[in-house]
Homo-oligomer: A and B are copies of this chain.
Amino acid sequence: MGRGSGMKAIVLMSGGLDSTTVLAYAISKGYEITGLSFDYGQRHKIELESSKKIAEFYGINRNVFKIDLRQIGGSSLTDKIEIEKGKIGREEVPNTYVPARNIIFLSIAGGYADVAHIDDIMIGVNAVDYSGYPDCRPDFISSMERTLRLGLSGSHNIQIIAPLQHMSKSEIIKMGMNLKAPYELTHSCYRGGTKACGKCDSCLLRLKGFMEAGYFDPIEYEEYPEFYNKYLQTKK
C-alpha cells in the first residue's frame, strides 16, 4: 500500500515480456502506476519504443531516466562485445550481464519513490533470470529493499515487489495471457532489430516459454528455431 490514498506503484518497464506481465498484474490489482524506463546506452534501443507503446496502451505515465552505463563498460549489451549464447541457466554469469544494472535501476527507482511518496516498486526479475544474473536473485532483492528503506529519507515502508520471482517463463506467459498483456508490443531480442532474430538466448527462451505455455508468440521473427517450427506444425 502506498502512503497516499489508494495503491501506487512504480513499475520498471524494459519493454520486454516480463516487465509487461508485471505491469498487467499491477493494473489488474488496481494500482495507480508510474512506469520507469531507462535509456542506458543499450544496443537494443528499440525496447524503449516498446515500453512507450505499452505505457500508451495502458494510459499510464512513464518516466525515461537517461544514464549512460557504457561509462562503466564491461557488457555485451552496451559495449561492442560479441553476445554470448547458450549461457543462460548455467552457473557462469553471461557477458550480457550489465555490471550493477539492477542495483543502479532500483536505486534510481528509490529516488523517484521517495520524491513521489510511493512505497511500492515493482520489477520483473524471475527464476530464469536469476540463474545467470546475480542482481536478479531473491536474496539480492531483499537486501536491496532493506538498503532503500535505510537510505531513503521518508520511504521506510518501501517494498520491492517481484511478483514473477519464482516463476518460469511459461508460467509468466500463462499469467500474462490471462491478463491480456499486450505481448504484441513487447521486445525481447538482444540484437535490437525491428524483427526479433529468433537466434539469441533471449529469443530462444521466449519462444520456448510460449511453446510450453501452449500459446503462439504474436511478435515477428526473422526466422524461427527448429523446435518452434515443429511446434507450429503440431498445432496446425
Contact = CB atoms under 8 A, between A and B. Distances in A.
Interface stretch (A18-26, A144-152, A173-181, A217-225): A144-152
A38 to B, nearest CB: 11
Contact of A152 (B63, B135, B139, B146): B135
A99 B114 contact: yes
B134 A143 contact: no
Given A67-B67, A143-B143, A72 B150 contact: no
Contacts of A107: 100, 103-104, 107
B143 A146 contact: yes
Nearest to A93: B153
Copies of this protein in the complex: 2
Interface string A1-21: 000000000000000000000
Given A72-B112, A115-B73, A152-B135, A147 B103 contact: yes
Contact of A140 (B63, B100, B114, B150): B150
A71 interface: yes
A68 B69 contact: no
* Tier of interface size on chain A: 35 or more
Nearest to A138: B150
Interface in A71-98: 71-74, 93, 97-98
Interface in A126-169: 134-135, 137, 139-140, 143-144, 146-148, 150-154
Given A72-B112, A99-B114, A100-B107, 9 more contacts: A67-B67, A72-B108, A74-B115, A98-B111, A100-B108, A103-B148, A104-B111, A140-B150, A143-B150
Interface of A: 63, 65-69, 71-74, 93, 97-104, 107-108, 110-112, 114-115, 134-135, 137, 139-140, 143-144, 146-148, 150-154
5 contacts: A65-B71, A65-B72, A102-B151, A103-B151, A104-B107
